[in-house]
Amino acid sequence: MHQADNQKSPEIFVFFGMIATGKSTIAQAWSWQEQLRCYNSDWVRKELAGVDPTSTHHESIDGGIYTKEFSTKTYTTLLERAGARLRQGDSVVLDASYQYARDRQDIRELVSRLGCRVYFILCQCAEAEMKHRMDRRSLDPAAVSDGRWEVYLQQKKRFEPPEELPDTELITLNTDGAAEDILADLQEKMTNKRKRN
């Protein structure tokens, strides 16, 4: 279903999960397929810092543009941009780790105020595949993400499972396979979820 297909209210699709789970690849593919604007936390973070999106920043896990304060600024900006699109009646895609329940709750409060629907798509894959993706990405000069193995290990300790999200808002997506297969799986799950809403 595309945005023009008689939707009563705009929707926000939040692709989240740990680094290297393929969320950015799938979020971008979904946004192209559905003809929606996609906001990526890596792009927004580096834009706010005034640096090239493809520049590499291997600071300490909580240093540089990855301090708590800068992360808060990044997530606030993501929320503001999504809110602006939703207020215009446009559906939107967000692509970020959203590892903390409080950041996910901010989105839920926004859509509640605006009378929109939200779907949180939790992207998960095997650790071996994540490691392979990080190794491959480290060789790609056009890669935007600074995610690497030591960052993942720290994130794994901090990631808060989305236990606060109701079943009507949460989709768990296995992202081990090919992008086209993952998209087909997501499309089927979205269709079923919309029927229940």
pLDDT, tens digit, 9 for 90 and up, residues 114-151:
999 999 999 999 988 888 888 776 665 555 455 667 77
| Residue 158 structural domain | 11-196
Query: What's the CA gap between 189 and 168, in Å, rounded?
Result: 11
Report yes or no on 159 lying in a domain: yes
Query: What's the CA gap between 120 and 107, in Å, rounded?
Result: 10
Report yes or no on 67 lying in a domain: yes
- Entry pTM: 0.87
Report yes or no on 1 lying in a domain: no
State the Cα torsion 43-47-51-52 to the nearest 10°: 40
Report yes or no on 2 lying in a domain: no
User: What average pLDDT does the segment 171-192 reach?
Assistant: 95
Report yes or no on 123 lying in a domain: yes
Report yes or no on 6 lying in a domain: no
Report yes or no on 142 lying in a domain: yes
Q: What is the pLDDT of residues 66-100, one digit of tens each?
A: 789 999 999 999 999 999 999 999 999 999 999 99
Report the domain count for the chain. Answer: 1
Which residues are CB-contacts of 67 (< 8 A; sequence separation ≥ 6)? none
Looking up residue 140, the CATH number of its domain turns out to be: 3.40.50.300
Report yes or no on 144 lying in a domain: yes
